[in-house]
Amino acid sequence: MRFLSRRLVMPNDLNYANALFGGRALEWIDEEAAIYAICQLESNCLVTKHIGEISFESPAIQGDIVEFGLATKKVGRTSITVTCLVRNKATKKTICLADDIVFVRVDPDTKQPVAHGKTLEGLVQQTKEEMKTLNVE
């Protein structure tokens, strides 16, 4: 799992208990996972099909930096399944884990699923090469 993105918890991200609002965390997860899937499949014609189990493990508060870890779990013919872990950057404590987030590649005109042409093995290699260009381990 790679942690490539961070966000700052701001006042308008909080719930009535002054902790990160779950709905905001879900919005961030959907966006971060979509960016990840778009980069993996090298196509921005993706839609969110399914979000599996989500568990909120510990709160984040105003001023916390949270980081998003993403990994590819499964690669199908038209879909990709990813996992997203949100954790506190300073303490590394897990804030939220979202499993089985499925994106489907669709045709831009018909909006019907189309093959993305990727394999899990190919994506492992592609990601290694991408990491080199990002200058991160």
Ligand X SMILES: CC(C)(COP(=O)(O)OP(=O)(O)OC[C@H]1O[C@@H](n2cnc3c(N)ncnc32)[C@H](O)[C@@H]1OP(=O)(O)O)[C@@H](O)C(=O)NCCC(=O)NCCS
Compute the half-sphere exposure of residue 98: CA atoms within 13 Å on the CB side of its CA.
Answer: 23
Task: Give me 20's structure tokens.
Answer: 């990160």
Q: Looking at beta carbons only, is 22 or 52 nearer to ligand X?
A: 52
Least distance from ligand X to the Cβ atom of residue 105, Å:
9
80-99 positions binding ligand X, by CB under 6 A: none
- Interface with ligand X (CB under 6 A), residue from 7, 13, 72, 78: 78
22-61 positions binding ligand X, by CB under 6 A: 47-50
Q: What angle do CA 85, 88, 94 make, to 5 degrees?
A: 45
- Interface with ligand X (CB under 6 A), residue from 20, 41, 70, 104: 104
Q: What is the DSSP letter of 77?
A: S
Sign of the torsion formed by the C-alpha atoms of 8, 10, 16 and 18: positive
Please say whether the beta carbons of 124 and 75 come within 8 A.
Answer: no
- Interface with ligand X (CB under 6 A), residue from 24, 31, 113, 127: 113
Least distance from ligand X to the Cβ atom of residue 44, Å:
14
Task: Find where tokens 């499964």 sit.
Answer: 74
Residues that bind ligand X (CB under 6 A): 47-50, 76-79, 102, 104, 106, 111-113
